[in-house]
Amino acid sequence: MPWHTEVVTDTTPHVRQRPVPTPTASAPDRSLRGYRRALVVLTLAVAAWGAVWAVVTPPFQAPDEQNHLNSVLRLAYGGGWPAPGDAYFSPAVVDAVDEAAYHSDPPGRWVHRSDARQFVDADPVPRDERTRVETTTALGEASSGNDVDQMTQHPPLYYALGAGLLQATSLTDARWDQAMLALRLLDVLLLALVVPLAAETARRVTGSPSAGLVAAAFPLLLPQLGHIMGAVNNDALVLLACAVVTYLASRVVTGDLRWRVAVAIGLAVGLGLLTKVMVAFALPTVGVAYLLARGRPWPARLGRVGVAVGVAGVVGGWWWVRNVLTLGAVQPVGLPRDPATVAQVPDAEVPSLIVEKLAQAFFGNLSWLEVRIPGAWVVAGSVVLIAAGLVALVLPGARRAAAALLLLPGGLALGVAYNAWDAHAVTGGLVAVQGRYVFGGVPALAAVVAVAVWQLVRRSERRLALAVPVFATLALTAAVWGIAWAFEAFYRGPGESVGDAVDRWLAWSPLEAVPLLVLLVLAGVAFVAALVATVAWPNRLAAPRPGPGSVKDDR
Domains in the chain: boundaries: 19-58+184-334+341-540, 65-181
Which has more pLDDT, 430 or 94?
Answer: 94
Q: How far apart are CA 546 and CA 288, in angstroms?
A: 27
The DSSP secondary structure of 234-273, one letter per residue, reads THHHHHHHHHHHHHHHHHHHTT---HHHHHHHHHHHHHHH
CB atoms within 10 A of CB 98: 12
Q: What are phi and psi of 453, to 5 degrees?
A: -65, -40
What is the pLDDT confidence band of residue 27, given thresholds at 50, 70 and 90? low
Model pLDDT for residues 82-110, shown as the tens digit of each residue: 999 999 999 999 999 999 999 999 999 99
Q: Residue 431 pLDDT > 50, yes or no?
A: yes
The C-alpha atoms of residue 465 and residue 290 are separated, in whole angstroms, by: 31
Flag whether pLDDT at 547 surpasses 80: no
Q: Which one, of 526, 520, 525, lies nearest residue 53 by Cα? A: 520
Model pLDDT for residues 282-313, shown as the tens digit of each residue: 999 999 999 999 888 989 999 999 999 999 99
pLDDT of 362: 97
Average pLDDT score, the chain: 91
Task: Round to whole Å and give the CA distance between 519 and 210.
Answer: 29
The pLDDT assigned to 8 comes to 33
Quick: pLDDT tens for 221-236. 999 999 999 999 999 9
Average pLDDT over residues 170-177: 96
Report yes or no on whether pTM surpasses 0.75: yes
| Residue 2: pLDDT band with limits 50, 70, 90 | very low
* pLDDT (mean) for 150-156: 96
Q: Does residue 19 have a pLDDT over 70?
A: no
Under 8 Å between Cβ of 211 and 203? yes
Structure confidence by residue, pLDDT tens digits, 191-207:
999 999 999 999 999 99
The stretch 352-359 carries a mean pLDDT of 95
Nearest-angstrom CA–CA distance, 108 and 488: 7
CA-based nearest residue to 320, from 265, 264, 262, 278: 278
Residue 16 belongs to what H/E stretch? Answer: strand 15-21
| pLDDT value at residue 28 | 64
- Whether pLDDT at 15 is above 60: no
